[in-house]
């Protein structure tokens, strides 16, 4: 998907004016936040788990090459193959080739954000394959031809009515004609449509939440079980994932799984947690005949030893999105690419270029709630600030704001000049607001006064008033 982050401001304004979206966001927010809170209240050892998770991930990142090698070896030992993709184009090519080699016509997919990152569907469709998303949310947005708006709930921006309408339009060809009025009816119809697709598919593509080095397993968590059918019914199973998902042991994985489910959906554990190990063995009754893992780098190696290292601990739980007041106000599409919210505002500039996505790191109040809820203790505000430092260095942000900042800094660094300017400013504003106590319109300040008054100052600045008071005190002492 081509990034639309450049249009962030326009996207955000449109999102604010979209009442269906606003309602959906409100519902989703309350649900996610409350469920997570209940789950954490019931887990007194959360902080302990969090600090263990930090140690596990840091240890892994420090030794990532060795663990990736071990993972590759173990996948080989179980009869599978690992393919390395340094960028998204390579990942597309590898997967298209694997599908062609498998003689595929039809492909089912489980939800994968790395798949979104490499724009896999577009590539597969261009190569002539029929590609069907099998996660309900992903399926919905595939019909709507939209990108996901949330990393764990891709269709969270859609209302029930919108989904029913989409199904009506797209399921006509399968002879489904009844009106869908309840959620179970919607789910049931999707299940019926997808069942045939599962059976017809030649290749199944899933993502992975974790890659376990000691066993060569790939792990996915789902609540619909669609991932299991996608992986085990077709002849070929391809896993698309990225290098930072590797974890040393099964034991380590269990720590991360406990944090992931609670942080994401407030569940103790997701309905399905599946470990895939290579293709079908002789003794197995079913399963794929070939098993491939495609591991994407796409700038991650560069992050490893740089300022954005901490971001590689991310387990894609979505908690930072759910608790972000900006995300909750505008939704995920406004961010313009596949990763929205705080984690997206850190990742997108790294993967799509800072110039292209310059708004994202600035469109945050740095309120710190994301860092507070992040199970992996990622200092998201500091990372956003890091992008801002880079933007300032590269002179990417607007000339107007740079100039204003320069001028302000000049005053702030010359206290006497600063006093003078403050006194003039205070006098002027006090005069403007003298009748009502506030100012409702000001030249060059529409951004503030469009929705707020400006409480007016109190006639003089604090420092001037203080100085006067001290002087009077001294004089009365002398009298």
Partner 1 sequence: MRIALFATCLIDTFRPSAGFAVIKLLEQAGYQVDVPELQTCCGQPAYNNGDLKSARKIAQQTIETFKQYEYVIIPSGSCAGMLIHHYPNLFEDNPEWKNKATDLSRRCYEFTIFLHDVCKKISFPIKNKISITCHDSCSSLRETGSKQQTRNLINSNKNLNLIELNDSDTCCGFGGTFCVKYPEISEQMVNDKVANIMATGAEILVSADLGCLLNIAGRLKRLKSPIKVFHIAELLAGETDKAGMGNEI
Write out the residues near partner 1 by the rule CB under 8 A: 9, 12-13, 16, 325-326, 329-330, 362-369, 371-372, 385, 387-393, 397, 401, 405-406, 408-409, 411-413, 415, 418-419, 422, 425-426, 434-438, 440, 445-448, 450-458, 460-463, 465-467
Distance, CA of 151 to CA of 267 (rounded, Å): 17
**Residue nearer to partner 1 on the CB measure, 204 or 344:** 344
Terminal C-alpha separation, the chain? 79
Query: Taking the complex as a whole, how short is the minimal distance between the CB of residue 1 and ligand SF4, in angstroms?
Result: 19
Nearest CA among 248, 239, 244, 273 for reference residue 258: 273
Between vectors from CA 356 to CA 352 and to CA 362, what angle results, nearest 5°?
105
Residues in the interface with ligand SF4 (CB under 6 A) total: 13
What letter would DSSP give residue 81?
E
From the list 314, 347, 350, 351, which residue makes contact with ligand SF4 (rule: CB under 6 A)? 314
- Report, in this order, helix, strand and coil percent for the chain, each rounded to 5: 55, 10, 35
Nearest CA among 342, 345, 379 for reference residue 360: 345
Query: Taking the complex as a whole, how short is the minimal distance between the CB of residue 259 and ligand SF4, in angstroms?
Result: 8
Catalogue the E-assigned strands of 284-414.
Answer: 290-296
From the list 39, 96, 312, 374, which residue makes contact with ligand SF4 (rule: CB under 6 A)? 374
**Residue nearer to partner 1 on the CB measure, 236 or 461:** 461
CB 426 within 8 A of CB 461: yes
Q: Which does 465 bind (CB under 5 to 8 A by kind): partner 1, ligand SF4, none?
A: partner 1
Q: Which does 318 bind (CB under 5 to 8 A by kind): ligand SF4, partner 1, none?
A: ligand SF4
Q: Which does 375 bind (CB under 5 to 8 A by kind): ligand SF4, partner 1, none?
A: ligand SF4
Tokens of 337: 């690419």
User: Where do runs of H (alpha helix) occur along 102-132?
Assistant: 113-117, 120-126
Query: Taking the complex as a whole, how short is the minimal distance between the CB of residue 318 and ligand SF4, in angstroms?
Result: 5
Distance, CA of 67 to CA of 351 (rounded, Å): 24
Tokens of 222: 């789902």
Binding to ligand SF4 (CB under 6 A) within 316-335 occurs at 316-320
Q: Which does 128 bind (CB under 5 to 8 A by kind): partner 1, ligand SF4, none?
A: none
Binding to ligand SF4 (CB under 6 A) within 242-301 occurs at 263
**Residues within the interface to ligand SF4 (CB under 6 A):** 263, 314-320, 343, 374-376, 378
């Amino acid at each position: 998907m081509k990034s639309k982050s450049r249009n962030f401001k326009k996207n955000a304004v449109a999102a604010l004016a979209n009442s269906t979206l606003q309602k959906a966001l409100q519902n989703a927010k309350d649900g996610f936040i409350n469920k997570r809170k209940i789950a954490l209240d019931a887990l007194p050892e959360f902080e302990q788990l969090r600090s263990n998770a930090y140690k596990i991930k840091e240890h892994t990142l420090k030794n990532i090459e060795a663990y990736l090698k071990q993972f590759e070896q173990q996948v080989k030992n179980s009869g599978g193959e690992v393919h390395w993709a340094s960028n998204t184009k390579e990942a597309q090519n590898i997967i298209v080739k694997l599908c062609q080699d498998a003689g595929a016509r039809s492909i089912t997919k489980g939800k994968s954000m790395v798949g979104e990152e490499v724009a896999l569907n577009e590539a597969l469709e261009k190569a002539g394959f029929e590609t069907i998303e099998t996660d309900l949310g992903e399926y919905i947005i595939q019909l709507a031809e939209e990108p996901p708006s949330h990393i764990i709930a891709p269709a969270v921006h859609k209302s029930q009515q919108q989904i029913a309408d989409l199904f009506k339009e797209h399921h006509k060809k399968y002879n489904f004609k009844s009106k869908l009025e309840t959620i179970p009816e919607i789910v049931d119809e999707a299940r019926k449509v997808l069942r045939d697709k599962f059976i017809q598919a030649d290749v199944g593509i899933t993502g992975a939440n974790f890659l376990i080095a000691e066993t060569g397993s790939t792990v996915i968590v789902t609540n619909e079980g669609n991932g299991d059918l996608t992986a085990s019914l077709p002849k070929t199973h391809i896993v698309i994932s990225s290098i930072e998902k590797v974890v040393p042991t099964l034991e380590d994985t269990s720590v991360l799984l406990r944090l992931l489910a609670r942080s994401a959906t407030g569940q103790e554990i997701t309905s399905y947690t599946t470990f895939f190990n290579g293709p079908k063995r002789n003794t197995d009754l079913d399963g794929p005949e070939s098993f491939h893992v495609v591991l994407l780098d796409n700038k991650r190696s560069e992050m490893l030893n740089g300022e954005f290292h901490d971001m590689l601990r991310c387990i894609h739980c979505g908690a930072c999105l759910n608790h972000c007041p900006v995300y909750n106000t505008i939704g995920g599409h406004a961010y313009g690419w596949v990763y929205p919210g705080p984690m997206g505002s850190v990742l997108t500039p790294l993967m799509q270029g800072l110039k292209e996505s310059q708004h994202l790191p600035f469109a945050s109040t740095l309120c710190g709630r994301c860092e507070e809820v992040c199970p992996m203790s990622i200092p998201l505000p500091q990372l956003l600030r890091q992008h801002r430092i880079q933007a300032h260095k590269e002179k990417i942000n607007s000339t107007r704001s740079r100039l204003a900042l320069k001028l302000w800094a000049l005053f702030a660094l010359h206290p006497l000049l600063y006093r003078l300017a403050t006194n003039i400013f205070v006098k002027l504003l006090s005069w403007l607001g003298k009748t009502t106590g506030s100012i409702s319109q000001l030249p060059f300040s529409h951004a503030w006064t469009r929705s707020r008054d400006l409480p007016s100052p109190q006639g003089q600045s604090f420092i001037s008033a203080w100085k006067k008071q001290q002087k009077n005190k001294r004089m009365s002492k002398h009298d």
